[in-house]
């Protein structure tokens, strides 16, 4: 899960771009002119990005209680108020 959280933005961008490229290639391969497949590819890119936002919102909404309880316990034990994270040498 940490690997996913660290590279979530990269996964989001790559999945959107790959979907847009696939949609463009699919329509181009079937002989559609560029003015037909280009808007469809852009809509596919926007659609996948929108799906990522909806999933992100739902995940945050469903896991808020666990994060809030963990952060409260961290603060009560003398924590500094910053979220706990693994130090990657920075």
In a domain, 6, yes or no: no
In a domain, 48, yes or no: yes
In a domain, 3, yes or no: no
Query: Residues 50-68: pLDDT tens digits?
Result: 999 999 899 888 888 887 8
Cα–Cα distance, 20 to 13 (Å, whole number):
11
Q: Which helix (H) or strand (E) holds 79?
A: none
In a domain, 51, yes or no: yes
Tokens 């596919």 map to which residue?
A: 44
Domain that holds residue 23: 17-73
In a domain, 69, yes or no: yes
- How many domains does the chain divide into? 1
User: Which residues have C-beta within 8 Å of that of residue 26, sequence separation ≥ 6?
Assistant: 37
Which residues in the chain land under pLDDT 70?
1, 81, 83-90
- What pLDDT, on the 0 to 100 scale, is given for residue 89? 45
């Amino acid at each position: 899960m940490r690997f996913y959280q660290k590279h979530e933005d990269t996964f989001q961008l790559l999945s959107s771009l790959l979907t847009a490229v696939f949609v463009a290639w699919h329509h181009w391969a079937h002989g559609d002119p560029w003015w037909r497949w280009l808007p469809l590819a852009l809509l596919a890119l926007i659609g996948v990005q929108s799906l990522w936002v909806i999933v992100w919102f739902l995940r945050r909404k469903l896991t808020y209680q666990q994060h809030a309880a963990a952060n409260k316990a961290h603060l009560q034990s003398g924590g500094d108020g910053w979220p706990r994270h693994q130090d990657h040498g920075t």
